């Protein structure tokens, strides 16, 4: 208002008794002053609207910036979650492969153990006739072996070494079951040799073990269980 007064001057009041020209001049000034006030009001309103619009634009800009920032954060989070899911999928597939390989290895191990068990069982079954107690009962001991079977003739059955306190080296032929030695026809040479009492003990231990001196093919194995003196 003061600025308007400086620009347009202070409006003068119309007083009675003034000349007509002065009255018209005052009326023009008053009308111009009123117009200027209306323009000022309109300017203030426009300025207020522009300020409000600027505030709204600033707010919209800030909201847009916040939205874009939130969107970028969500996109980054989505990307990280996708990478994590991919890594978890790879880890799961590797775990599946590892478990499959482990299961295969365990299966192979079980099959190998089963084969070994079956082979051992077959060997035990093949050796079972050799462990028959009735067979051992047919084998004479050291005391009664003596010279009972000293001979160069061919006889049937597996060969066993027998020793006795008479310082004679005897190889006896003890008939065995057909399952052990079917159709054996062995010529066992007999040579008397001298040996000390320790050899007798060794021979007795061998006799007590009831071990037939035959190889895998059923042939007689001539093991020298005694030391030869001279």
Structural domain boundaries, residue 104: 18-131
Please list the rounded mean pLDDT of every run of 10 residues in the chain (230 residues). 50 51 63 69 85 91 94 94 94 94 93 92 78 57 43 39 40 39 39 44 51 49 41
**Strand, helix or coil for residue 229:** coil
Q: Are 27 and 3 in contact (CB under 8 A)?
A: no
Structural domain count, the chain: 2
**What was the pLDDT predicted at 126?**
79
**What was the pLDDT predicted at 162?**
42
Indicate whether 13 belongs to any domain.
Answer: no
**What was the pLDDT predicted at 38?**
75
Indicate whether 95 belongs to any domain.
Answer: yes
**pTM for the full model?**
0.32
User: Around 34, how many Cα atoms within 13 Å sit in the side-chain half-sphere?
Assistant: 6
Indicate whether 169 belongs to any domain.
Answer: yes
**What was the pLDDT predicted at 69?**
94
Indicate whether 224 belongs to any domain.
Answer: no
Indicate whether 201 belongs to any domain.
Answer: yes
Q: Which helix (H) or strand (E) holds 24?
A: helix 20-127
**What was the pLDDT predicted at 182?**
38
**What was the pLDDT predicted at 39?**
76
Residues 118, 191: one domain? Answer: no
Residues 139, 95: one domain? Answer: no
**What was the pLDDT predicted at 190?**
40
Indicate whether 218 belongs to any domain.
Answer: no
């Amino acid at each position: 208002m003061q600025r308007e007064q400086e620009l347009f001057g202070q409006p003068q009041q119309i007083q009675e008794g003034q000349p007509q020209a002065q009255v018209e001049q005052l009326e023009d000034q008053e009308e111009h002053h009123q117009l200027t006030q209306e323009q000022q009001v309109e300017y203030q309103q426009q300025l207020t609207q522009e300020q409000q619009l600027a505030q709204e634009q600033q707010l919209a800009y800030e909201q847009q910036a916040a939205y874009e920032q939130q969107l970028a954060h969500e996109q980054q989070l989505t990307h990280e979650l996708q990478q994590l899911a991919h890594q978890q999928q790879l880890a799961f597939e590797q775990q599946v492969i590892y478990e499959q390989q482990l299961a295969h290895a365990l299966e192979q191990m079980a099959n190998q153990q089963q084969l070994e068990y079956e082979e051992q069982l077959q060997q035990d079954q093949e050796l079972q006739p050799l462990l028959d107690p009735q067979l051992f009962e047919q084998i004479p001991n050291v005391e009664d072996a003596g010279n009972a079977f000293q001979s160069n003739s061919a006889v049937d059955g597996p060969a066993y070494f027998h020793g006795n306190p008479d310082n004679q080296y005897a190889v006896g032929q003890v008939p065995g079951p057909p399952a052990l030695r079917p159709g054996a026809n062995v010529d066992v040479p007999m040579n008397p040799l001298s040996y000390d009492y320790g050899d007798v003990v060794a021979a007795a231990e061998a006799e007590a073990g009831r071990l037939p001196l035959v190889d895998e093919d059923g042939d007689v194995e001539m093991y020298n269980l005694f030391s030869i003196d001279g």
